[in-house]
Structure 1
């Protein structure tokens, strides 16, 4: 279908949020602080992006028009957000789909993140653990011996970090605005929350231990080199069948691109046109599967997410 759709953003405040996203994107709304802008998400009854042209949530639009997405998953498969952590998040992990569906009746989350602005600044992320067993993990948590428990990862602004299900992460934010990509879930298991004791943010040590790997999974920060074509720099961050496809585009002038599945694109800087559709900072467009080649014009940066089914899945 040669039609482009608009997705309306969802803004959500968190205890660790601040005003940086409000100022960065010039948001005119009544919230004092925002932690996450949900560009595309489809969790019915909770976080569900509105498709403007259909005036219906993305989860329903997907169910009614699966031919526009080119996959046969029963539910919309991916999510994309812009996030800025300006406080203490929590120490946490996310389950995979199998565990989340069995224990909580919803999807888990596999995700990745990249700072929107590249720089030489190197931050230290709390990422992974050093415990050799579940018993040692529990002992170190109860003792709050974070130095012995946590591993860290040196990340330069602009590096891409993929977070497999079960990997321990969280803690103090750096105030860096990041794009996050992942599977379409919003389930978090926390094991320490800065002694807040908030009933809306329960601690679930047993689930964290069930989902963690001993020893921890290997991980790294990746500096992705852009692919240059006329007028466009394209960053291919992640493309794993059954997980998600994550990209970024820097447009300076004009160029063209096509994708073999649907593509959701959010403008994170500047403005321009995708075919005949204007797009400005903060706007999100859905380009359906089968749309074919489209033209990108302007001076802008776009983040994008898509999905490929696992080999053997039917469409």
Structure 2
């Protein structure tokens, strides 16, 4: 299909949110705080991006226009957001689909994140655990013995960090704006919430323990070197069957790009044109499956997400 679609953003505040995203993306100054900009998500009756040209949410647009996506999953499979954590988020994990569907009737979440702006700043994140078994894991949580529970991960701004389902993480935000990519879920299991008592943010320690792995699953902070093309740098962050495809394109001039699958792209810096459509900072476009080569023009940075299976022939 030779048509480009626009996805409308969804803005959501959290207890850990601030004003940095409002200032960064020139949002309504009357907003109190924004923690996450949902560029693309499709959870019906909860968080569901609107497809501007169709006047309908992404979840139903995906079902009614399979030719746009070329994807045989029953539900739209991926999500992409921009997030800035300016307070204490929580200590948490996310379940895989099988556990989440059985216990909550919802999709789980596997995700990855990268700071939008590279720098020499290195942050230390609580990430993963050191417990030898479930009993020790739970004892350390109940004792709030975070130094004995958590392992840590040193992350330089611009490193990509993939978070497998079940891996614990969270804590104090540094105010860094990140792009996040993942499967199409929004389910979080918290085991500590900075001693807050919010019924909308319950602690679910049993579920966190159920989803943990012993020993912990492998993870790392990955520095991705871009592929240099004519007037463009392409960062390929993640590409795993059944999870998500995550990219960033840095355009400086005029160039052409092609991708066989659908491609959802958000401009996170600068402005320009994508396939003849003007795109400004904060705007999101959907390039349909099989669109073919398209032109990129301007001085801009685009984050992008897609999905495929190993059997697909993806460029």
TM bucket (normalised to shorter chain) is: over 0.9
Partner residue in 2 for 1:210: 210
User: Deviation string for 1:58-103 (max 9, x for gaps)?
Assistant: 0010010011101110100000000000000000000000000011
User: Deviation string for 1:251-292 (max 9, x for gaps)?
Assistant: 000111111100000000000001210001000000000100
CA drift at 1:30: 3.7
Partner residue in 2 for 1:300: 300
Deviates more, 1:29-38 or 1:266-275: 29-38
Distance in structure 2 (CA, Å) of the matches to 1:70 and 1:23: 37
Residue 120 of structure 2 corresponds to residue 120 of structure 1:
yes
Runs (4+) of structure 1 moved beyond 4 Å?
Answer: none
CA drift at 1:29: 5.7
Residue 130 of structure 2 corresponds to residue 130 of structure 1:
yes
Partner residue in 1 for 2:226: 226
Distance in structure 2 (CA, Å) of the matches to 1:230 and 1:309: 29
Q: Using structure 1 for the length normalisation, give the TM-score.
A: 0.98
User: 2:4 touches 2:275 (CA, 8 Å); kept in 1?
Assistant: no
User: 1:114 touches 1:157 (CA, 8 Å); kept in 2?
Assistant: yes
Distance in structure 1 (CA, Å) of the matches to 2:67 and 2:202: 39
SS at match of 2:43: coil
Partner residue in 2 for 1:250: 250
User: 2:259 touches 2:292 (CA, 8 Å); kept in 1?
Assistant: yes
SS at match of 1:210: helix
Give aligned pairs, total: 312
CA drift at 1:311: 3.8
CA RMSD of aligned residues (A): 0.9
Partner residue in 2 for 1:240: 240
User: 1:71 touches 1:309 (CA, 8 Å); kept in 2?
Assistant: no
User: Deviation string for 1:35-75 (max 9, x for gaps)?
Assistant: 00000000000000000000000001001001110111010
Q: Using structure 2 for the length normalisation, give the TM-score.
A: 0.98
Superposition pairs of residues 244-283 of structure 1, within 5 angstroms: 244-283=244-283
